[in-house]
Structure 1
Amino acid sequence: MRPLAASMVGVRFGAGGRARREMWMKYRRIGLALVVPALVATACGSGSSSSSTGAALAATQQLRFPITDDIKYLDPGHVSTAVDIAFVQNTFGGLYRFDDNLKEVPYIATAMPDISSDGLTYTFHMRHDVKFSNGDPVTSADVLYSWNRAARLNDSYGIVFQPVEGYTAVAPSKGNPTATTLSGLSAPDQYTVKAKLTLPAGYWLTEVALWTADVVDQKVIPNDTDKTWWTNPATAIGTGPFKLTAYVPKDHLSFANVPNWWGGSTGHLTDIEATILADQGSQVTKYQNGGFDMIGPADNYPPLDAVRNFQANSATKSQFVNIPGGRSTWVGFNFSTGPFAPAGGNIDDPIALAGRRAFSEAIDRTQLVTVACGPGGIVCKPGTGGVIPKGLDGYLGDGADTSSAFDATKAKADLQTWDPNGTKRVGLQYWYNTTTSNKAIADNLQSQWQTNLGVHVDTQHTDFSTFLTARQDKKYTLFRDSWGADYNNPQDWFDNIFICSQAAVGLGNNDGICDQRIDTPVKKAEGETGSQAITDFTTANKQLVTDYAAAVLEYGANQYFIKPYVQGGGGNALYDNSWTSISIAAH
């Protein structure tokens, strides 16, 4: 989801949003059907640990797992990282949510909304029995307060409310706000909410199920500038099945199930303990010694060396669960300036195209994932079906991305077309943000470009924040790029990464590519739902392939270590399974 829009297809999530998504690295074209097929897990496990309805349960129903980094916010209006989102999804809730199969289902709402024939007016009907964890009733006034507040805060995901009338007055891209509430929101009665959009937006109903639209209790939030209310268990009030009971920064978070929860059963777990432990080796050791029940929740995947060791050991092999993830990584090319940029702004410039094509053709994706992701691609798979990964709407199909085909001979011919005098290739650099996995990919790219093209490319890395800023400012010629879906809708990808309104310096279209053959079908698709929208997004996706806008490398996966006695642990392509789905068997 991510960075954004000045108009219906404008800057969808701006610089901050893309940064958020990058941190997540995990995460819908549901339209009005609102159903996304569950993705099938691969490798040594299924999408979750085994679940047996007849298994005897342990007397203590506590789930323990580590997280590498401390949380930043547990405030739906500010939350932006995968770590934070994993906890917010269990403690807060909105009108809708995604279940463990990625199906959007009613939560506080009684059903899917009534939508006017012109697609502009949504009427939401609420349950009358919903309560916050402190017992306060939830009404339409709380929904309006929460949605208006999220729009005013204008943080990474605030753009969720961009389609609603009055958004630009509350959260203008420039200048000061001229309103504090969205003019398109109203509450005809205590349990009805109406939203009027500026233009039809088939994807918006899906976005309403995101955390930014979760309901917060205005009685416990002093004002919009307060960012600490959620740190105190007494005021960390939500509608979810669990509540915060303790938070010690840089040490741990504790949660407990909500007694007499309005939604019914909270499942079997009564306590959750998340320990903040930066050293991943220590996490694995503690897991092996019985101190943790899982590694992997909250975007905290086990390290590759540990995964390899677990797979090689018959006693632990079954504890590794590997699930196809909704994220892609690719080599980005600078379309704004430098040797890969189209001359004179001509997107079809054959010389620049030959250069981009050469550097993509010279990459053997199978070799790359074997080196960077383990033998056979343990934690990622070759990217051969376009930027949208397999399992999500908009995937072009296995091998359908012709720009991913490895051909060293053709690559050398294209290199000669692009740089007959050998001057453009001098001093090329590939930039990435510093992580072990990113370095492994960068080192392999460097080796393959040297072997298959005869071109030496320096690899350079820097910290995450510096990298994001420089990349969005179009300062890199070759660079690592990546996106993880927030929801299963191609709009989540195109609005944020590949459209012209995001191509300016400082915005999320890191390539700076602007091709009306992409923008036109994207604009059309955004007013559509169902199969027609997918068809138009697919047209745009195929044009990306034709333009060689991205040398897609790999599709990521979500990994977990799960003890045999943990029932229902794991997740899907985008999120962890709900804590309500997990239990601890006797052991």
Structure 2
Amino acid sequence: MKSALVLMTLAALAGTSSLAIAQTTDGVLTVATIGEPPTLDAMQTPTDIVLTIDQHIFETLYTYDTEWRSVPLLAAAMPEISEDGLTYRIALREGIKFHDGSDLDAKDVTASLTRWMAVNSKGKQVAEVIESLSEDGANAVVVKLKSRYAPLLATFSQASIIMPSEKIADTLTDFIGTGPYALKERKPDQYTQLVRFDGYKSPEGEPSNYAGKREAIAKEIRFVPVPDANTRVEGLISGQFDFADSLPVSAYERVEASGNAKPVIYENTGWASLNMNMKEGLLTKKALRQAVQAALNPNDMMLAAFSDERFFSVDGSIFPKGSLWHTESGVARYGEGDPEAAAKLLEEAGYDGTPLRLMTSRQYEFHYKIGEVAKAYLEAAGFKVDMQVVDWATLTTRRADPKEWDIFITHSNFPGDPTTINTITDSYPGWYVSDEKAKVVATYMDAVSDADKQKAWEGIQAVIYDDAPLFKAGNFNAVTGVSTGVSGYTPTYWPHFWNVTPKK
């Protein structure tokens, strides 16, 4: 009987995923990031570096699976939606605790979402369509809308982090969430230290992007700001770092040959763009924004940034081929760069030689290289260009002031819902507001079927090209690196380290 029980147990384990039998360790994961996060308040500054760290501390009602669909995280299930599409009832998972030991309840959710709607750019957009937000008992919330809002769950899947209602303030001093790791210590420009939260209750299901089971296998994760990309490479190869983010593609072969680490590619990580200031300064004139579009050569910018066509593609569609949202609709002034057409637009707009302030950062080296090539093409078209190179924290602070810049370079992922693209949000730096945009976005919001949404998105992309709030440089694959002694790491847009086993 005892032998039979052992055999049955082994058979059961053989059919279980490696994650299910993974053991927690006393190991530490040291992660080299591209720099110091300006804050740990993702509602205030939902940049990649902040979201990468925060997702271990905080959780949202929903999150993204491998197809970038919104699926439950703190929510118990998909919402119950009324027939008219205006009322969402969201049940909460029970037994969830915050890092301070308190229990998650509906009051925490409504208080957190209220703050999110007050301070976050996407939250402010959602606030305009929300009639009311209320608790339905201790374990459910009800969202009533003024009008249909197709991307509601997508906006509940990113920076709308849930925290204890008692800890909510205009300026956060306590960073307490429900995630698998808790914040222990932050020393600016040295490290952000997270430790395993033993009271964590994981969602169920196989891991799928950010969805499914989350296990805090490492006892500690230490995020170390390393602004210089080559220093991240050297630290990874030497064993100083277990993971290094955003590596230059030129380091791929060296990391691969090191024996101590391996490079990791995440395909179609996102797209790089030059975002234009439509609120103040030179580029309030559409003709000048279109001149920027006409002047630039996306292939040369991406080749300078990524060196090898294995790591990028050039495509005027905002979403890549294979995506539900890929379309050539409206693509204009995108190709080889046309200095003559750009010069004509400059003349029509009465350009007076005022320097165009182009802001970029070397912490994302590809941003800087895109900027160098963009400067050359813009000058060839007749612009005077003042390229300002700052650290990423300074850039994200400065871009909030419309008096400080004309173009900034950034990158974004491909979201599950196209209307959650940052630029479409009226309050995102650049302040893209137009009557035409409002009309086509409204059409999308009323769409129900995927076919209707696709058609509506085609209209939005066409208006984006005409209004010219940005220039898409191209799609890119990201290169990161992980120590050969680390197991269980799966590449995602915002690298995450639950379910990852440190080296022995």
Q: What is the TM-score of this pair, normalised by structure 1?
A: 0.68
Pair 1:160–1:485, CA change in 2 (3 A): farther
Pair 1:206–1:465, CA change in 2 (3 A): closer
Q: Distance in 2 between matches of 1:475 and 1:293?
A: 37
- Alignment-derived partner of residue 39 in structure 1: none
- Alignment-derived partner of residue 357 in structure 2: 431
User: Which residue type is aligned with residue 35 of structure 2?
Assistant: D
Task: Tell whether the 8 Å contact from 2:32 to 2:226 is kept in structure 1 after alignment.
Answer: yes
- Alignment-derived partner of residue 240 in structure 1: 179
- Alignment-derived partner of residue 136 in structure 2: 188
User: Which residue type is aligned with residue 263 of structure 1?
Assistant: S
- Alignment-derived partner of residue 575 in structure 1: 494
Q: How does 1:167-178 map to 2 (within 5 A)?
A: none
Q: Distance in 2 between matches of 1:75 and 1:419?
A: 41
Q: Distance in 1 between matches of 2:282 and 2:190?
A: 46
- Alignment-derived partner of residue 423 in structure 2: 497
Task: Tell whether the 8 Å contact from 2:95 to 2:103 is kept in structure 1 after alignment.
Answer: yes
Pair 1:289–1:401, CA change in 2 (3 A): same
Deviation at 1:259, TM superposition (A): 2.2
Q: 2:112 aligns with which of 146, 149, 154?
A: 146
- Three-state SS of the structure 2 residue aligned to 1:275 is strand
Q: What 5-or-longer segments of structure 1 have no aligned partner? A: 1-50, 167-183, 231-235, 343-351
Q: Distance in 2 between matches of 1:282 and 1:407?
A: 35
Q: 1:484 aligns with which of 405, 412, 416?
A: 412
Q: 1:159 aligns with which of 111, 115, 124?
A: 124
Task: Tell whether the 8 Å contact from 2:46 to 2:159 is kept in structure 1 after alignment.
Answer: no
Q: Distance in 2 between matches of 1:215 and 1:94?
A: 6
User: Which residue type is aligned with residue 365 of structure 1?
Assistant: P
Q: Distance in 2 between matches of 1:67 and 1:119?
A: 41
- Alignment-derived partner of residue 441 in structure 1: 370
- Alignment-derived partner of residue 313 in structure 2: 381
User: Which residue type is aligned with residue 432 of structure 1?
Assistant: L
Pair 1:544–1:124, CA change in 2 (3 A): closer
- Alignment-derived partner of residue 405 in structure 1: 335
User: Which residue type is aligned with residue 192 of structure 2?
Assistant: L
Identity %: 17
User: Which residue type is aligned with residue 106 of structure 1?
Assistant: P
- Alignment-derived partner of residue 565 in structure 1: 485
Q: What is the TM-score of this pair, normalised by structure 2?
A: 0.77
Q: 2:155 aligns with which of 197, 207, 210?
A: 207
Pair 1:528–1:381, CA change in 2 (3 A): same
1:545 partnered with 2:465: yes
Q: Distance in 2 between matches of 1:94 and 1:474?
A: 33
Q: Distance in 1 between matches of 2:260 and 2:285?
A: 49
Q: Distance in 2 between matches of 1:338 and 1:254?
A: 43
Task: Tell whether the 8 Å contact from 1:334 to 1:474 is kept in structure 2 after alignment.
Answer: no
Task: Tell whether the 8 Å contact from 1:321 to 1:570 is kept in structure 2 after alignment.
Answer: no
1:131 partnered with 2:50: no
Q: How does 1:22-101 map to 2 (within 5 A)?
A: 61-75=27-41, 77-99=43-65
Residue correspondences, number: 470
User: Which residue type is aligned with residue 249 of structure 1?
Assistant: P
Please list the CA deviations of residues 173-212 of structure 1 after superposition, one character each: whole Å capped at 9, or x if unmatched.
Answer: xxxxxxxxxxx12223222211111221111122122232
- Three-state SS of the structure 1 residue aligned to 2:434 is coil
**The 10-residue stretch of structure 1 (560-569 or 257-266) with the greater mean CA deviation from structure 2:** 257-266
- Three-state SS of the structure 1 residue aligned to 2:473 is strand
- Three-state SS of the structure 2 residue aligned to 1:108 is coil
Deviation at 1:88, TM superposition (A): 2.1
Deviation at 1:536, TM superposition (A): 0.7
**The 10-residue stretch of structure 1 (104-113 or 267-276) with the greater mean CA deviation from structure 2:** 267-276
Deviation at 1:85, TM superposition (A): 1.7
Q: Distance in 1 between matches of 2:404 and 2:282?
A: 10
Task: Tell whether the 8 Å contact from 2:36 to 2:188 is kept in structure 1 after alignment.
Answer: yes
Q: Distance in 1 between matches of 2:235 and 2:404?
A: 43
Q: 1:521 aligns with which of 427, 435, 440?
A: 440
Please list the CA deviations of residues 138-160 of structure 1 after superposition, one character each: whole Å capped at 9, or x if unmatched.
Answer: 222322232234445x2455426
User: Which residue type is aligned with residue 105 of structure 2?
Assistant: T
- Three-state SS of the structure 2 residue aligned to 1:69 is coil
1:253 partnered with 2:180: no
Q: Distance in 1 between matches of 2:460 and 2:67?
A: 28
Deviation at 1:474, TM superposition (A): 9.6
- Alignment-derived partner of residue 271 in structure 1: 220
Task: Tell whether the 8 Å contact from 2:255 to 2:261 is kept in structure 1 after alignment.
Answer: yes
- Three-state SS of the structure 1 residue aligned to 2:185 is strand
Deviation at 1:290, TM superposition (A): 0.9
Pair 1:482–1:63, CA change in 2 (3 A): closer
Q: Distance in 2 between matches of 1:126 and 1:456?
A: 54
Q: Distance in 1 between matches of 2:345 and 2:360?
A: 30
- Three-state SS of the structure 2 residue aligned to 1:148 is helix
Q: How does 1:531-542 map to 2 (within 5 A)?
A: 531=450, 532-542=452-462
Q: Distance in 2 between matches of 1:568 and 1:425?
A: 55
1:468 partnered with 2:399: yes
Q: What 5-or-longer segments of structure 2 have no aligned partner? A: 1-16, 204-213
